[in-house]
Amino acid sequence: MYFRTFAAAAALLVATGAAQAEFTLGDRFTDADGDLVADIPSDPSQQIDPGTLIFAYTPVEDPAVYAEVWAGFLEHLEAATGKDVQFFPVQSNAAQIEAMRAGRLHIAGFNTGSNPLAVACAGFRPFAMMAAADGSYGYEMEIITYPGSGIESVEDIRGKQMAFTSETSNSGFKAPSALLASEFGMTAGTDFEPVFSGAHDNSILGVANKDYPAAAIANSVKARMLDRGVVNADQLSVIYTSQTFPTTGYGVVYNLAPELQQQIRDAFFSYDWEGTALAEEFGRNGEDQFIEISFQENWAVIRQIDEANGVEYTCN
């Protein structure tokens, strides 16, 4: 099994002249303090204070499962804000970003790779991330296959099919794309056939059921699926593991009233995880609290990967 520091792969792409993308916010936003996230509008007429708050977790194969997982936390949010809070199941990262851009989504957990685009184009203001009791956090990108696939190393993917999740996913597309190009000289469409499953759990199930010979996935999702018995460990084989990346970032849309943003923020950090469905589900990854994060600092490596891939934060 491989283990590599992905920053080296990203640096190599930059050094060899790959197109770079400077991170900038969309034209509708300002960033007077230079923290790379949209400022809250100073004009009260541009702020919103909805009677019902809409919350969405990052896209998953079975949103109904996660609606139940988050139910207790949403009740806590209701008590903290005095508002109704509804769970909004999203089918894709693009749909989640568009919902926030259009004003239909107020609180969200955006996956690692889609965080920069959500910040740049939807006015997302991330402030929290799940972590272990000791403050450690994150997950690794893995390239997986199934036993007997004939794939023993990354190089063996040449000429075969490989599953990604979506183009906005860090571990499901961006990181492995830069890695395969820089470290192995392999390009999608030339050296292997890329397919998109839509979600990490879809990719993991696809490999376990031998629909895909290989896939790039987040091992935090795999761990939860193994723990629930959705797949078995003997159905999967890991051929590559990356460095640790930040996980899902939680936050709010930029134009919520400041007092409401503070109430929501406080609710995340005051939530008691003990005995909750949230603890049961995410405890499978060793996570049992929310910690404060900075998009500018914690997502620096993800923006570096985007630069290495020539990603443009274009907001139409």
Note the pTM of the prediction, 2 decimals.
0.78
Total count of residues recorded for the chain: 316
Distance between CA 83 and CA 4 in Å, rounded? 46
* Helix (H), strand (E) at residue 214: strand 214-218
Query: Listing from the earlier edge strand, what are the strands of the sheet with 84-87?
Result: 84-87, 52-56, 107-110, 249-253, 124-131, 289-292
Angle between helices 300-308 and 115-122 (to 10 degrees): 90
Distance between CA 87 and CA 95 in Å, rounded? 15
Q: 59, 57, 72, 41: which is closest to 251 by C-alpha?
A: 57
pLDDT at 311: 82
Q: What is the pLDDT along the chain (316 residues), one digit of tens a residue?
A: 433 334 433 333 333 333 335 789 999 999 999 999 999 999 999 999 999 999 999 987 777 889 999 999 999 999 999 999 999 999 888 999 999 999 999 999 999 999 999 999 999 999 999 999 999 998 899 999 999 999 999 999 999 999 999 988 889 999 999 889 888 999 999 999 999 999 999 999 999 999 999 999 999 999 999 999 999 999 999 999 988 899 999 999 999 999 999 999 999 999 999 999 999 999 988 999 999 999 999 998 889 888 877 888 878 7
Please list the residues that pair with 193 across neighbouring strands. Answer: 161
Tokens of 226: 């193994």
Tokens of 117: 């685009």
The 3-class secondary structure across 99-149, one letter per residue, is HHHCCCCCEEEECCCCHHHHHHHHCEEEEEEEECCCCCCCEEEEEEECCCC
Unique residue bearing structure tokens 């909750």: 276
Please list the residues that pair with 53 across neighbouring strands. Answer: 85
Cβ–Cβ under 8 Å, residues 93 and 199: no
Distance between CA 97 and CA 86 in Å, rounded? 17
Residue type (1 letter), 270: S
Within 8 A by CB and 6+ apart from 162, the residues are: 143, 188, 192, 193, 194, 195, 212, 213, 214, 215, 216
Tokens of 141: 């990108």
Percent of the chain that is helix, strand, coil (3-state, to 5): 40, 20, 40
